[in-house]
Amino acid sequence: MRAFILHRYGDQAGVRAGDVPDPQVGADDVLIRIHAASVNPLDLKTRDGEFKAILPYRVPFILGNDLAGVVVAVGAAVRRFAVGDEVYARPGKDRIGTFAELIAVHQDDVAIKPATLTMQEAASLPLVALTSWQALVERADLRAGQKVLIHAGSGGVGTIAIQLAKHLGATVATTTSTANVDLVKSLGADVVVDYKKQAFETVLHDYDVVLDTLGGENVTKSLRVLKPGGQLISIAGPPDAAFARDIRANPIIRLAVTALSFRTRRRARRQRVTYAFLFMTASGDQLRKLTPLIDAGEIRPVVDRVFPFTETRQALAYLEAGRAKAGKVVVTMTSGTALTG
């Protein structure tokens, strides 16, 4: 099959197109012919080797973290899916590889695709929708009447998190650029801070939850807008001890990872709030909970641009250069076209 393969860590030059054997299908696996896959910052971080000390990837391997497609074979133990089903998924972290024609995914990580969406729209959702669900529902237990700040509201996670938070009944604030103020308002944001004109930490206060997607100084600033007992959940800030335990890191790595967030956790304690790092996990069950909200129009995908599969490297470069204006970047499969790169 055709695929885009990471041959060495470091930069775009390490990603090349080529032919690889078709995936083997285990008893609990669903073999999916991929129709579309989306491009995420996680792909760039993986390509650059940011996780090579803690995640089990050995080069060469195929990049890509979410997909939509059609089931073409099932393992002997699979009962939920059948050949011909249209599905979407975020494969488990140890079985990534959606920039390819085929992928074998454990049945627990797969869900039937929302009927109202195209393949390209469905492919844009699994990673960001699961991230939003796990941050706001699983971790924060966000309730009606609470206040949540979602950073980068026009980004992949932000566009979905705003809609999910509104569905949960929260008052939603978000940060964005001038160009995307109307977009985030249309998604349901109640309070919009144009970061080009205002510093969010000076105008927002007494929030129950902050979902940080930016990291860096944004984490420290976000602590200031929380009320006592509030929660800062970050997908881009320093990892914490719980993350190290979840990935079953060895003791040395666990100590190193825990140390990365020491100052942030100490600041949080001083302000009587909590800090947690979230590295989202695959879950077909959670996708199945999200699907009715998507089909009902409560959550709609936002797609910035669609690239042909042959231009996956260009799609990665487009995202890396910050050219995406809002939402997700997607690659869509085309048959009978030679790969280049």
Could you give the CA distance from residue 285 to residue 279 in angstroms, rounded to a whole number?
A: 17
User: Over 50: is that where the pLDDT of 336 sits?
Assistant: no
Mean pLDDT, rounded, for 118-143: 98
Q: Exposed/middle/buried for 138, CB within 10 Å: 0-12, 13-18, 19+?
A: middle
Q: What is the pLDDT of residue 317?
A: 96
Q: Which one is predicted more confidently, 11 or 272?
A: 272
| Structure confidence by residue, pLDDT tens digits, 182-226 | 999 999 999 999 999 999 999 999 999 999 999 999 999 999 999
| Structure confidence by residue, pLDDT tens digits, 25-78 | 999 999 999 999 999 999 999 999 988 877 778 899 999 999 999 999 999 999
249 — pLDDT class (breaks 50, 70, 90): confident
Q: What is the pLDDT of residue 122?
A: 98
Long-range Cβ pairs for the range 161-164 (8 Å, 24+): 161/128, 161/131, 161/132, 161/135, 161/136, 161/211, 162/187, 162/188, 162/189, 163/187, 163/188, 163/298, 163/299, 163/300, 164/129, 164/132, 164/133, 164/136, 164/137, 164/293, 164/299
Taking all residues of the chain, what is their mean pLDDT, rounded to a whole number? 94
Q: Which one is predicted more confidently, 241 or 309?
A: 309
% of the chain beyond a pLDDT of 90? 87
Span of 185-194, 254-263, 288-297, 309-318 with lowest mean pLDDT: 254-263
Q: What is the pLDDT of residue 227?
A: 98
User: Over 70: is that where the pLDDT of 334 sits?
Assistant: no
What is the set of domains in the chain, with CATH numbers? 2-125+302-332 (3.90.180.10), 127-277 (3.40.50.720)
User: Over 90: is that where the pLDDT of 259 sits?
Assistant: no
